[in-house]
């Protein structure tokens, strides 16, 4: 029950993450540069994990540190950097809908890594999901020239996160949730910080008080609290069971984008998003029978 509740809190906060990110980096909003934005966000997040990070660096084997680096590059750098770039031109609601493909990706990647063939339901779900993503892409509209590219970045970020979810549980079993979270956040922050340094000073001078408040809220809520809640919940439930909760992200993102950013909810987005969620449902249903 505790693991389920923590996982629920994580996906609820993550559902709001595209709304805050879009508000700060969206080209038709504050338009802060994506690279220094995400670098600054995770630099602050790393500060919350300094104590467990020092203990891990002193006691972990080189093999576990190397694997922690890989997990950080996938789950922290890969997901957040690609997602922030894509969110510049993709609405918060659509980001949430595309992130809805993550549970299906977790099932497919799990089958691949564990060398088992996906069932017919999973393969059918994959086809339905592809159809839904195609509808979202085709219906994105000409408002922003780069929007199609943004959708690709979002999908790649979802792939990185899904792979992280599949490979990180054994490390958490060996080393503990807090230590793994500290290591992956710190290692994942380094390339994002380096990539954003050239524009960092200009961004800091550009930001007003409200933007700093949104950035800090995003950092604490989604990069610290949500990540810890997810890692604790996923360690107890397993990647695929925890993946069920990712159903909530599209709903929270769509409603949050409409309420806070006044984003329209189009029929095309609803149709494409419904197919993506149907794909996830079919894949998970197929595993339970």
Range of the domain at 144: 2-288
- Mean of per-residue pLDDT scores for the chain: 86
Radius of gyration, CA atoms only, the chain = 18
Q: Which tokens hold the place of 234?
A: 């996923």
pTM of the predicted protein model: 0.82
Res 180: pLDDT: 96
**What phi, psi does 181 have (nearest 5°)?**
-60, -45
* pLDDT tens figures, 110-124: 888 877 776 777 778
Q: Which of 35-39, 80-84, 89-93, 227-231 has the lowest mean pLDDT?
A: 89-93
* Whether the predicted pLDDT of 64 surpasses 50: yes
> What's the total number of domains in the chain?
1
* pLDDT tens figures, 204-240: 999 999 999 999 999 999 989 999 999 999 888 887 6
* pLDDT tens figures, 192-208: 999 999 999 999 999 99
C-alpha 276/C-alpha 230 separation (Å) is 22
Res 282: pLDDT: 77
Single out the residue of 76, 110, 84, 107 nearest to residue 180, CA to CA: 76
The torsion of the CA quartet 227, 229, 231, 237, rounded to 10 degrees, works out to -150
> What end-to-end distance do the CA atoms of the chain give, in Å?
23
C-alpha 150/C-alpha 146 separation (Å) is 6
């Amino acid at each position: 029950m505790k693991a389920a509740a923590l996982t629920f809190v994580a996906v609820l906060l993550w559902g709001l993450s595209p709304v805050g990110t879009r508000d700060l980096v969206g080209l038709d909003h504050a338009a802060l540069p994506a690279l220094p934005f995400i670098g600054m966000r995770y630099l602050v997040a790393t500060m919350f994990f300094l104590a467990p990070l020092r203990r891990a660096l002193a006691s972990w084997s080189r093999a576990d540190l190397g694997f922690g680096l890989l997990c950080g590059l996938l789950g922290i750098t890969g997901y957040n950097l690609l997602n922030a770039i894509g969110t510049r031109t993709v609405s918060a609601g659509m980001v949430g809908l595309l992130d809805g493909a993550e549970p299906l990706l977790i099932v497919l990647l799990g089958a691949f890594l564990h060398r088992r063939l996906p069932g017919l339901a999973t393969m059918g779900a994959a086809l339905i999901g592809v159809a839904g993503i195609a509808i979202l892409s085709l219906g994105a509209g000409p408002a922003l020239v780069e929007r199609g590219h943004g959708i690709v970045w979002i999908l790649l970020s979802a792939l990185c996160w899904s792979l992280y979810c599949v490979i990180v549980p054994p490390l958490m079993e060996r080393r503990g949730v807090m230590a793994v979270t500290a290591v992956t956040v710190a290692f994942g922050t380094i390339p994002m910080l380096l990539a954003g340094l050239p524009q960092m000073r200009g961004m800091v001078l550009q930001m007003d008080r409200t933007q700093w408040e949104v950035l800090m809220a995003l950092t604490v809520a989604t990069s610290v609290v949500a990540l810890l809640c997810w890692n604790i919940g996923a360690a107890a439930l397993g990647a695929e069971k925890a993946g069920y909760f990712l159903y909530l992200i599209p709903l929270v993102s769509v409603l949050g984008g409409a309420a806070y950013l006044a984003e329209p909810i189009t029929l095309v987005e609803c149709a494409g998003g419904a197919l993506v969620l149907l794909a996830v449902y079919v894949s998970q249903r197929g595993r339970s029978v």
